[in-house]
Amino acid sequence: MGSETDGRSRGNIPDTVDVLVICGAAGVGKRSTAHEVSRWLAADSMAHAVLDCDELDRIHPWPMPGLPPWEMARRNLAAVWANYADLGHHRLMLTGVFADLRQELPWIAEAVPAAAFTVVRLTAGLDVLRERVLRQRIRGRAEEQLQAAARQLEEIALSDPPGTLVVDTGGVGVREVADRVIALWPAVAPTGDVS
């Protein structure tokens, strides 16, 4: 954790939380991109937190009977973010498939008060996704995973919230993808205010 202070918070509660949402279908490179962005921020001594929202509700049964499908993720995100915010953090990277982000941004905003969102959707062609899914070999479920990724590509593109930024990861190394994402996040972009 960095020790930076920038006058943006009263006590340990941030006035604004700069939230970068990296979304997209399975295999587009969300986790590897977030990891590379995090490395860049750490190298520049920029305090931040990273969470994989796809892991916030990995329970069975799911969804929980009687609760909205996002409720467990909302509760877990709120609990984890409260700890980070108490330490003075004001930058948060969230990754996840987010099949319909227009429906999901409200619960994320509820879990992370004062969030200012930058949404970046990663995309890639089906041939690229096939190669990546086959490389991952998820317990012999490659074809099932590829079909799911193809569905997600179409569904997610149709549900972009206004202002969504799109980065194609096909044929591009993760470092270059991360550079593009960093340039799109006003909270850390080299040409912007990086305090």
Q: Where are the domains of the chain?
A: 16-184
Mean pLDDT for 96-109 is 94
Q: What is the pLDDT of residues 110-121, one digit of tens each?
A: 999 999 999 999
Whether the Cβ atoms of residue 102 and residue 7 lie closer than 8 Å to each other = no
Residue 16, token pair as written in the block: 């604004």
pLDDT at 129: 86
pLDDT at 192: 44
Q: What is the pLDDT of residues 119-159, one digit of tens each?
A: 999 999 988 888 887 777 655 677 788 888 888 888 998 89
Q: Specify the length of the chain in residues.
A: 195
Give the C-alpha separation, 87 to 103, whole Å: 29
pLDDT at 149: 85
Closest CA to 31 of 177, 163, 157: 177
Query: Given pLDDT bands bounded at 50, 70 and 90, which one contains residue 8?
Result: very low
Whether the Cβ atoms of residue 29 and residue 120 lie closer than 8 Å to each other = no
Domain 16-184 has CATH 3.20.80.10: no
Mean pLDDT for 88-103 is 94
pLDDT at 154: 86
pLDDT at 64: 85
Least confident residue range of 24-33, 118-127, 185-194: 185-194
Residue 6 has pLDDT above 50, yes or no: no
pTM surpassing 0.85?
yes
pLDDT at 191: 55
